[in-house]
A and B are shown apart, each in its own frame.
Chain A
Amino acid sequence: MQTVNLLPLYGVMVVAIGFLFRLNPLISILISAIITSVAANKSIPDILALIGSGFIKTRNLSFLVILPLAIIGLMEKHSLRERAQALISRFANLTVSRLLITYLFLRQLTASVGLAMFGGQAQMVRPLLAPMIEEIARKKYKNIPRETLDLLKAHGAACDNIGLFFGEDIFVAFGAVILMTTFLHEFGIHVEPIHVAFWGIPTALCIFIAHAYRLYLLDQYLKKIATILEHETDNDHN
Chain B
Amino acid sequence: MTIIKMDYFYFITGIILLVNALKVFKSNGKSIGGLFWLIYALLFIIGDILPDTIAGILVVVMIIIAGIGVVKPIGASTTKQQRSLRTDNKVFIPALAIPLITLFCIFILKDIQVSGVNLFEPKHITLVGIGLGCIFSLILACIIYRDTPINAFFESSRLLDAISYPIVLPQLLAMLGIVFASCGVGTAVAYLVNTYLDVSYLFTGVAIYVFGMAILTILVGNAFVAFPVMMSGVGIPVLIHSFHADPAIVASMGMLSGYCGTLMTPMAANFNIVPAVLLELPDKNQIIRVQLPTGAIILLVNVMLLYLLLKI
A25 touches B269 (CB 8 A): yes
Q: Which residue of chain B lies nearest to A117 when distances are taken between CB atoms in the complex?
A: B99
Chain A residue nearest in CB terms to B65? A26
Kindly list chain A residues whose C-beta atoms are within 8 Å of the C-beta of B109.
Answer: none
Contact between A187 and B56, CB atoms less than 8 A apart: no
Q: Is the CB of B227 within 8 A of A183?
A: yes
Q: For A82, list chain B residues within 8 Å (CB).
A: 85-86
Q: Indicate whether A51 sits within 8 Å of B59 (C-beta atoms), given known contacts A67-B131, A198-B248.
A: yes
**B74 on the A face (CB < 8 A):** no
User: Who on chain B is nearest to A122 by CB?
Assistant: B278
**What does DSSP make chain A's interface, helix, strand, loop or mixed?**
helix
Question: How many Cβ-Cβ contacts under 8 Å join chain A to chain B?
Answer: 409
Q: Indicate whether B9 reaches chain A with its CB closer than 8 angstroms.
A: yes
The A32-88 residues at the B interface (CB cut-off 8 A) are: 32-33, 36-37, 39-40, 42, 45, 47-80, 82-84, 87
- Shortest C-beta distance, A148 to chain B (Å), equals 12
Interface size on A, residues (CB 8 A): 114
Residues of A within 8 A of B189 (CB): 9
Contact of A221 with B by CB under 8 A: no
Q: How far is the CB of B266 from chain A (nearest CB, A)?
A: 6
Whether A52 lies near B52 (C-beta < 8 A) is yes
Q: Which of B24-32, B112-120, B201-209, B252-260 forms part of the interface with chain A?
A: B252-260
Interface residues of B in 128-147 (CB under 8 A from A): 130-131, 133-134, 137-138, 141-142, 145, 147
Check A197 for interface membership: any CB of B closer than 8 A: yes
Instruction: Flag if A9 contacts B167 (CB, 8 Å).
Output: no
Please pick, from A25, A27, A71, the residue contacting B98 in the complex, using a CB distance under 8 A. Answer: A71
7 A-B pairs closest in CB distance: A73-B155, A52-B55, A48-B56, A52-B56, A54-B175, A195-B248, A40-B183
Residues of B bordering A, CB below 8 Å: 6, 9-10, 12-13, 16-17, 43-44, 47-48, 50-60, 63-64, 66-67, 69, 79, 82-86, 88-89, 91-92, 94-95, 98-99, 102-103, 106, 124, 127, 130-131, 133-134, 137-138, 141-142, 145, 147, 149, 151-160, 165-176, 178-180, 182-185, 187-189, 191-192, 219-221, 223-224, 227-228, 231-232, 236, 240, 246-249, 251-253, 255-256, 259, 262-263, 266-267, 269-272, 274-276, 278-279, 281-283, 286-287, 289-291, 293-294, 297-298, 301-302, 305, 309
